Structure 1
């Protein structure tokens, strides 16, 4: 929507400047521009035109005896449009999360906050013993592995000398 408004504003701004290409066709040196609205600055073989009303910059280049001005992309506008798009997407995803939570019978997360992490269940004594056995096995295997690596390194260094 914002882009359409900008395009309409540019068309409206360009309408008075439509005579730019025709009236500049004879001059050749520099494009004609309303001095109250536009500021022209030389930039190599072209001119940069600053629109004092909109703040937009266009590059004006002479082609076939006529000046053509093309708007220079404004990074700030692109960033603002991307932020707006992402904000809409976040709002849509939050609404979808609320809908899915309600469907599943779960409480929805408060607005602007991530859903709470699922509750952790405590382990039974038997499960804790099983984990301890697995950790002991892993520790022995790692010690054995690193012992073998130390032996291989010592043998390799002995061969290298």
Structure 2
């Protein structure tokens, strides 16, 4: 009996589709899914996600979009937007605070306190003296290794 009802519903849906769009290509065989509910059948369009309630009307069935059929996409979008916001908040909570890791780093102040020419000259002079002393020490060590003076 149930199979007969499904067959009748499918025939009614197919007949209505042929009459309303005689020149259109028929939908794929697996596009619609029918579920028996109180008062008829619930038709799910697998391509669009829309649902319709198909109820007995006259000699066949008439399918009308369900109240939630048109708002299913809007509800899904709202649900997904909420989920995205939750995930973004979670990522933000789990991410290290970048400003905390920059504590002690060079500030981004464009007016940095750079050394004066005199300070640079003092450092250069110190490095020059240190280099001369190192070279003198290396020369003395080489003389001692050779066994005498050059």
Q: Same fold (TM over 0.5)?
A: no
Larger Rg computed on CA atoms: 2
- From the two aligned structures, give the one with the greater helix fraction: 1
**TM-score, structure 2 length as denominator?**
0.30
Higher relative contact order (CA 8 A, sep 6+): 2
